[in-house]
Structure formats: structure tokens, C-alpha cells
Structure 1
Amino acid sequence: MTRIVLFSDIHANLPALEAFFKEIDSRHYDSIYCLGDLVGYNIWPNEVINEIKARKIPTIAGNYDFGIGRAIDDCGCAYKTDEEKANGAVSISFTNEIVKSEEREYLRTLPAHIRVEFQLNNDKLNLLLVHGSPRKINEYLFEDREEKSMLRIMQDADADIMCFGHTHKPYHRVLNSGTEDAPHYRHAINIGSVGKPKDGDNRGGYVILTINDNSSILTKDTVQVEFVRFNYDIEKAAKAVEDSRLPNAYAESLRKGV
């Protein structure tokens, strides 16, 4: 079997990233991927980028990385209120000011997605890693997405297992695009957020995906997904926000996990 660590949405939260690395260093895994959004909303974008680079972790671009990589004032975020929009404008402006040129170049050259194809049991099993969705870097795939829509997205992308972040709310849905007699099980997995969780649990989160030698699209339970939560110094991250010109609302969201 192979065990794959997947993490996403650090959002310049260095204390969370350091705790995440400490957590995974105590575990056995075979490979690791980052699904983007290294920057935004906190004071350590350069440090986070350089930690990822130092470990040579294959990483795709998140919507925030895409914006900062091109020094534009749009992160592609779906802010709902005028207050959220105003806070978001401060965050992207602040991040653009402090990100250094070499780090910005790294963000600009990150790939849009990563595809891994397994050959098992005379059949292929396609793992697709995206940030928002295969269609758009900033598309939100929430858990209540209509089944037909989710299946269409996965079929069009030829994804048997699709892992993504962006919403900061972890879940695992198993969908059948075949029939009862000839099933084709597909797994939609939101891996949550390391540095800015929004599911009411303020701990950082990531996923360990296990693919066995008998994993198959024909069998529902041969792909295992473990959601892992870990503690980190939330007050350090929140205080860093409050001591900067970033909106205090981002400190509160870290404390509350929303």
C-alpha cells in the first residue's frame, strides 16, 4: 500500500505549518503533496513558501498564490459582505507588500494541478489534485454540491479520486458513476486547511490517503481516507495578526475555527 499525505490552505500561518511538519514527521507516509494557498491572511508568507521549498514538496497553486504570484490585487476569493471585501483588500495589499521577489516567482510558476495514475488490478486509478476544482482554481466544491454536478466535474476530468481544498471544510464523498451491477466508485475529498480551518474546529487539519494493491473503482471501501487534526499555537498566530495592519477579524477566525 501507499500512504499519501495531503495538505492545503496554510495561509501564511507559520506556527500551524511548523506544528504540521512536527506531526507528520512522527508518522509513516510514502509521499506528500500540497494543494496550495500558501499565502494571505497572516504575516509569514515568505517563511511558509521557504519551508515548503526546503522540503521540496510538490505543490500546486491556490487562488491566493495565483494572485500574489502576479502581484495583482485580486485573490479570486468569494467574499460575501462589504466588510469581508474590505478586509480582503487589506490582506492582499499587505501580502503583496511583504512577499519578496524570489518567493513571488516561485508562486507564479506553481502548476495548476497534479495527476497521479496508478495501474492496479489491470485497471487504472486516477488521482487528481486540484485547489478549487479542475474547472477553476477558485471554484468552491462544498459537501452539499449536487451529486450530478460533482460526478460531471470528476468524469470530465477523468478523476477517480479527486482531492482539493479552498473551502477549508474537510469531507469525503463516495459517488457511483456506474450502475449497481457495474459500479465505478469515485472519491471526492476535501482535505481541509492547515492554517485557517473553517469547520468550527480551530485545530489544523490534513489528510492521509491510503491506496492498497487491491484498490479499485469497482469496490467502495478500498480507498481509505483519514482526517487528522493537530494542535498548534493559535494565540501566536492570532497575536501576529493583531500586531500587524491585518484586520483583527482574521485573528478571531483563527481562535474560533470559522
Structure 2
Amino acid sequence: MKIALFSDIHANIDALNPVLDDIYSRSPDAVYCLGDLVGYAPYPNEVIETIREKGIPVIAGNYDQGVGLNSDDCGCAYQTEEDKARGAESIAFTNKVITDENRAYLRSLPAHLRIEFGVNTDPYHLLLVHGSPRKINEYLFEDRPDKSMIRMMERAEAHIMAFGHTHKPYHKILEDSDGKYRHAINIGSVGKPKDGDPRACYAMLEWDGDLNLSDANDLNVEFIRVEYHVEKAANAVEESPLPDAFADMLRNGG
């Protein structure tokens, strides 16, 4: 089984198109998007329409939820008043340009997707969330204590849990109380990376047959970085009513 997962496009069509080209060139068995299609860049409609044309299943991100409800709150955690003011400009712009049809689409997105595997063995579950199983905008950073992450995954009945929202990719292999291994995977960001690498990021999950939960290495997780025309995307931000600071974030991967 080979599954491609991507998230946090944030209206960056220049990043999305080469990522999709790269994904389909690898012939995955399934492709899923973990939300935040819109915000921070000038092409929310183009991103939504591309995803819909491809028929890719999507869950709602916090930004999708805010725009879907025509709210002025994206559910983002801004660190400074300056960041908060720029964020207000971003969601106001997105709410202004989004089409009625695309807003309705965002409003219809599911919160989570759960896929059950294990035809020939005990069932095991892949849970797709945007922030966490508990909250759409909860940040699951890499430094979260293992015990906390395991407890969350056990309560959610997730053997593999994939999520986005922080824009920082990582894979943690966690041993639970039964001596089985669980996998917590942040798949990074396509359109607004925050790990210092401006290239778009997505994840490919792969395993053979039924996943062996007793083998920590039975699931292969690859983080794939895709080059795209960052300067073109940054220029598009600067030519729009959006704050120029968002362009610099694209250039710097932060």
C-alpha cells in the first residue's frame, strides 16, 4: 500500500501543481489532503478547483472552516499583534475573493477521515486529522511528550495518525502499553513551509501486505520535497492586497 498525503496549501497554486505532478508520477494507491486549502496567498479559488477536478478527498483545516463560515477568525495562533493584524488582512482578502460555490465546498468538508485496514489480520487504523483528533487547530509539535501523544492516539484508536497545521514535518514511532508501535506523522506544508526549507513538502506512506504493528520499521514514511517557482509565488503575493511579509515567508521557508 502506498498513500500520498499533503496539507496546508494555503492558496499557493504555484506550489500545488508541481506537487500533484510529482505525486502522480509515483503512482500511489491513494491520495488525501489534510486541509487548509486557502489563506495567505492570492489563489484560493484556483487551489480548490484543482483539488476538486482531481477528485482528491479532503478534510477541513482551520482556515477552511473559517472561510467556509465567512468568519473573520481563521483559528490561527498568532504570536504578536503584528502577526494578528496581518492574519486579519489575509482572511478578509480570502473571504472577499472566494466564490460562493467554493465557500460552500469548504463548509461541507469532513473533520476527520478514518481508514481501516487489516483484511487478513487484526484491524489497524489510519486516522487523518488537520490539527489533532481533539481540535482542528491544536498544534502537535515534535517536542510533545511521547506519553501524551500515545494517550491521544489510543483514545482516538489510531495506529497511524497523520496531521498538518504546524507546517513542520516529522515522524515519531511510539511504543504503546501493549508493546505495539504507533506512528505519528506531521506531513508538513505544500504552500507555506515553516521549517526553513522553502520547497513544498508532502509525505508518502508505504507498507507491504498487512502492517506489522510489532515491527517499528514496517511502515516506511518518506518526506518528499518538491522544487517550485518560489519567486513567482512571492511576486504574486506582493502584487496582491496581501501583506508583503507573506512573500518573504515563502522565500525563507518560515
TM-score, normalising length: structure 2: 0.98
In structure 1, C-alpha distance between the alignment counterparts of 2:87 and 2:52, rounded to whole Å: 26
* 1:222 partner letter: D
* 2:73 partner letter: D
Q: Alpha-carbon deviations, 1:154-202, whole Å to 9, x = none?
A: 1110000000000000000000112xxx511110000000000000000
> Of 217, 221, 224, which aligns to 2:217?
221
Aligned equivalent of 1:93 = 92
Query: Does structure 2 retain, via aligned residues, the 8 Å contact 1:197–1:254?
Result: yes
* 1:187 partner letter: H
**Does residue 245 in structure 1 map to residue 241 in structure 2?**
yes
Query: Does structure 2 retain, via aligned residues, the 8 Å contact 1:120–1:215?
Result: no
The percent of aligned pairs where both chains have the same amino acid is: 59
Aligned equivalent of 2:32 = 33
Aligned equivalent of 1:131 = 130
**Does residue 23 in structure 1 map to residue 19 in structure 2?**
no
Aligned equivalent of 2:166 = 167
Aligned equivalent of 1:43 = 42
> Cα offset for 1:25?
2.5
- Say which is worse superposed, 161-170 or 209-218, in terms of deviation: 209-218
**Does residue 188 in structure 1 map to residue 190 in structure 2?**
no
Query: Does structure 1 retain, via aligned residues, the 8 Å contact 2:117–2:210?
Result: no
Q: Alpha-carbon deviations, 1:225-247, whole Å to 9, x = none?
A: 01100000101110111111111
In structure 1, C-alpha distance between the alignment counterparts of 2:119 and 2:107, rounded to whole Å: 35
Equivalent residues, number: 254
Aligned equivalent of 2:176 = 177
Question: Which stretches of structure 1, 4 residues or more, deviate above 3 A after TM superposition?
Answer: none
* 1:139 partner letter: E
Aligned equivalent of 1:208 = 204
In structure 2, C-alpha distance between the alignment counterparts of 1:119 and 1:148, rounded to whole Å: 26
TM-score, normalising length: structure 1: 0.97
In structure 2, C-alpha distance between the alignment counterparts of 1:190 and 1:120, rounded to whole Å: 27
In structure 1, C-alpha distance between the alignment counterparts of 2:76 and 2:148, rounded to whole Å: 21
* 1:216 partner letter: N
**Does residue 11 in structure 1 map to residue 7 in structure 2?**
no
Q: Alpha-carbon deviations, 1:110-144, whole Å to 9, x = none?
A: 00000001015521111000000000000000000
> Cα offset for 1:211?
2.4
In structure 1, C-alpha distance between the alignment counterparts of 2:20 and 2:211, rounded to whole Å: 28
> Cα offset for 1:218?
1.4
In structure 1, C-alpha distance between the alignment counterparts of 2:87 and 2:141, rounded to whole Å: 21
Contiguous gaps of at least 5 residues in structure 2: none
> Cα offset for 1:214?
4.2
* 2:133 partner letter: P
In structure 1, C-alpha distance between the alignment counterparts of 2:22 and 2:222, rounded to whole Å: 14
In structure 2, C-alpha distance between the alignment counterparts of 1:174 and 1:192, rounded to whole Å: 17
Alignment of 1:121-160 (within 5 A): 121-160=120-159
In structure 1, C-alpha distance between the alignment counterparts of 2:121 and 2:12, rounded to whole Å: 43
> Cα offset for 1:23?
1.3
